Amino acid sequence: MTQENHFVSPDQANPPFFAGVDLAGGNIKVGVVDDLGRPLCRLTVPDDSDNGPEEAARRMGAAVLEAVQKAGLKPSDIARVGIGLPNMTGIAAGRLVRPTNGAGGDNFPTGERVGAHCGLPVSLANQANAAAYGEFWVGAGRGFHSLVLCTLGPSIGCGIVIADLANQGENNRGADFGHMIIDCSDHARLCGCGQPGHLDAYASATAVVKRAREALDAGRESSLSKRLAQCHTLAFPLIAQEAEAGDPLSLEIVADAARHLGVGVVNLMNTIDPNGILLGGSMTFGGRESPLGRKFLGWVREEVARRAFTVLAERTVIDFAALGGDAGYIGAAGIAKLEKAKGIGP
């Protein structure tokens, strides 16, 4: 993950410069990177999108200009701005169509309006694909020809990069990994979207909490019961803590989520055949730095080895992502750089 002491100064950076915007979780995260993908700065401000799409666009534009100033640059030094937006269609037209959050109104010209507020050309990308492109460009996928980034959290997101192109799909829903159907039985678990059998219902943080609640309600013994009696809330961080401490039920639930994730990963391998599949997001259990994170990755790999064709199991890298929460704005800036080089957009 990028740290402040790893930022480069303008005199050490390679122009041209690009700004990247990652809109998620009620915040606008903005960073400025050089032509090699090295950040000069980053900042986070509230998006305040409840006040409408125009106000959201104004705040994004203002945040870009603030980041440029913080980086020690002028707006004229920025070649293009890239914006990663969640759950959107209409990217090619620069419009946010049927958004599922407050990022903008239906058919709102997001790219045009943010550009008007910061005075710079803008490229739009799906948020998950922007994060995937960040890992592909300067993260754990550097050197790959193709990759899939799976973002694990309350729901499961996905970004796909093939060659140097992020795969948006015709309707920008070409990487809805969490809604992959992995259980067609009559008793399949119900996804938050209302449909049965989706991966989200088995391998997301939300699913982990639901499985724990069901087990406790059924009378399973667990150290979670003692923690709940101490007025703790049954939430994903608590389950992760107890699994790390060796609670058998918590470990069982985490391992089961990993195995279901492995099933989904094999389906991705059979469909896309990428160089690597990277795991990121808030549900990586501390990643490589944590014993539980290493166990989780091991369980995913074991399930893949059990189910995948031998050549895919042997050749596909399955690992943790490297950029953490910085992947989104770095990747959005990278997509802006790519589109400028290809003459796409403004």
Q: Please report, for the domain that includes residue 205, its CATH number.
A: 3.30.420.40
Q: Which pLDDT tens digit goes with each residue over 238-291? A: 999 999 999 999 999 999 999 999 999 999 999 999 999 999 999 999 999 999
The answer on 223 and 331 residing in a single domain is no
Residues 63 and 183 both lie in one domain: no
Q: Using alpha carbons only, what angle is made at residue 47 by residues 46 and 52, rounded to the nearest 5 degrees?
A: 145
What is the pLDDT confidence band of residue 171, given thresholds at 50, 70 and 90? low
Distance CA 163, CA 288 (A): 27
Amino acid at 183: D
Distances (CA, A) of 44 to 81, 125, 264, 329: 16, 19, 33, 11
Nearest to 196 by CA among 205, 206, 204, 186: 186
Residues 186 and 71 in one domain: no
149 shares a domain with 109: no
Same structural domain for residues 202 and 336?
no
Task: Give pLDDT, residue 99.
Answer: 44
Say whether both 148 and 101 belong to one domain. Answer: no
For the cut 70, the answer to whether the pLDDT of residue 102 exceeds it is: no
Other beta carbons within 10 Å of 100: 8
Give the count of domains, the chain.
Answer: 2
Q: What percent of the chain has pLDDT over 90?
A: 79
Among the residues of the chain, which ranges form H helices?
Answer: 53-70, 110-118, 127-138, 200-203, 205-217, 223-229, 236-244, 248-272, 291-307, 310-315, 327-342
One domain, residues 237 and 116: no
The whole domain housing 248 covers 142-321
- Same structural domain, 159 and 274: yes
CB atoms within 10 A of CB 160: 26
pLDDT of the residue at 28:
92
pLDDT digits (tens, 9 = 90+) for 278-315: 999 999 999 999 999 999 999 999 999 999 999 999 99
Tokens matching residue 189 = 């678990």
- Looking at the structure, tell me whether residues 109 and 44 fall in a common domain: yes
Q: Across all residues in the chain, what is the average pLDDT?
A: 91
pLDDT tens, residue by residue, 174-207 = 678 999 999 999 999 999 999 999 999 999 999 9
Shared domain check, 90 and 38: yes
In the predicted structure, residue 79 carries a pLDDT above the cut 90: yes
245 and 98, same domain (yes or no): no
Residues 162 and 229 in one domain: yes
What pLDDT does residue 190 have? 97
